[in-house]
Amino acid sequence: MKYELVAGFETHIELATKTKIFCGCTTRFGGEPNSHCCPVCIGLPGTLPKLNRQAVRYAIMAGLATHGEIAKISKMDRKNYCYPDLPKAYQISQLYAPLSIGGYVELSNGRKIRLHHIHIEEDAGKLIHRHGDTYVDYNRGGVPLIEIVSEPDIRSIDEAREYVEKLQQVMRYIGISDCKMQEGSMRCDVNISVRPEGTEKLGTRTEIKNMNSINNIARAMEYEFERQVDLIESGGKVVQETLRYDDATNTTSPMRSKEDAHDYRYFRDPDLVTINVSREEVEEIRASLPELPADKCRRYIDELGIPEKDAQLLTKYRKISEYFDAAREGVKSPKTVSNFIIGQIFRRTETESDKEVFDVSVTPEQLNELVKLLDSGKIRNNLAKSTLEKMLDSGKGALEFISESDMGGLDEETMITLCRQAIEENKKAVEDYRGGKEKALKALLGNVMKNSRGKADAAAAEAKLKEMIG
């Protein structure tokens, strides 16, 4: 029997506010353990929380960017459980009236992964296990989070990977989080079940907690899918439970039985006011959102003639797309700008972290100037490429490396002289070309381009060589 994977995600994203959700402590990553804390975020008796308005605004932005409906009224609830990383013995969250309802994330295959809701809550502290002892660092406690809860719409590991990547991309674009999974600012709980292919009834689900790597999410899901299928086929039953994933052994293991909402004894937080979001404020926030990556990618393809794969690379990170938009201003062919970025500049920004920061020595205005020289016919493509390398090395503009004579082009007589020189210096290549080896012409053309310092028009030089060889 064939089985189908069914998965849904609960994705926790730390918001990029300067202070925590209910107090004035910094949200800065790192620092000495328990140095970013105060009586409010460590839950001392008598302290009162005060909701961070910016956290609410960021959550609204996330809801709008994922096509959700922003609730006019939302409320904060207490989620009660005892665990060392939660000093109050409850987490302030939202259950009954979350901030954003519905929405979706659209995948490249056209499927829409529906969202159930997005709610705001506070993060817990961090447990550190050393030599058999457990230590608690409350620096992270009280950092504002949004939790994005999807419906069980994911049907493959590839869809799961793309869903997380799309969420990460959108949240970075709108500027509400850096979504650095390695630092814990984006973490996923993966709910997974299996069912016979073609059936509608959902199987018993397990939840893999606190996944902080897309590759590990894929590996854990693959393992858990196979484990559940093997269990069912051997006559066993899947137990609803919470699992941890061990990347060293590529296995999951039980943490505790899976809780339902009633197990947490949720109730309205009496210390926090109702959140009332006006329609005017929602529309003001909607208008402030940048163009989303999917919309920008489609525009690059449809309006600028950028190939789809190139458009995806240009829109993966917001800083790259902003650089491209500035560099292509007023040029004849945006694709030329795209080629320079994806070719030469990307070779110097090898890692994904480099591309996310995209701190290159050549400004978009300098690249724009170089491309306009190319557009005007004052320089040839080879010279433009070699000039860009010098610009990237030095941070200087194109005219620092291109003289007036470089921009003069080649007259007919000089072109003939250079072609004749190439033929005389490469007699074997001439013989090979006459013998039917088309590639041999490239050696001759390379000689002309080298000796002309890139000033020769490659197409004109190739035509002249063919004419002279006969």
User: What pLDDT digit, counting tens, does each position of 23-36 carry?
Assistant: 999 999 889 999 99
d(CA 367, CA 395): 11
The enclosing H or E element of 286 equals helix 279-288
User: What pLDDT digit, counting tens, does each position of 224-239 carry?
Assistant: 999 999 999 999 999 9
Instruction: Concatenate the DSSP letters of all residues of 166-220 into one string.
Output: HHHHHHHHTTS----GGGTSEEEEEEEEEEETT--S----EEEEEE--HHHHHHH
Tokens in use for 310?
């190139």
Domain boundaries, the chain: 3-285, 291-408, 412-469
CATH code: domain 412-469 is: 1.10.10.410
Upper half-sphere CA count for residue 197 (Cβ side, 13 Å) = 6
**3-class DSSP assignment, residue 116:** strand
Contacts 24+ apart (CB under 8 A), 222-230: 222/157, 223/250, 223/251, 223/252, 224/190, 224/192, 224/252, 225/3, 225/5, 225/157, 225/192, 225/194, 227/252, 228/192, 228/193, 228/194, 228/203, 229/3, 229/194
User: What pLDDT digit, counting tens, does each position of 396-442 carry?
Assistant: 999 899 876 666 666 788 888 999 999 999 999 998 888 888 888 99
Instruction: Quote the percentage of the chain above a pLDDT of 90.
Output: 79
Residue with tokens 């320089």: 379
Return the pLDDT at 255: 85
Please work out, in degrees rounded to the nearest 5, the angle formed at the alpha carbon of residue 130 by the alpha carbons of 186 and 36.
50
Return the pLDDT at 410: 66
Residue 250 has pLDDT above 90, yes or no: yes
pTM of the full structure:
0.84
Return the pLDDT at 261: 67
The answer to whether the CB of 185 falls within 8 A of the CB of 163 is no
d(CA 288, CA 282): 10
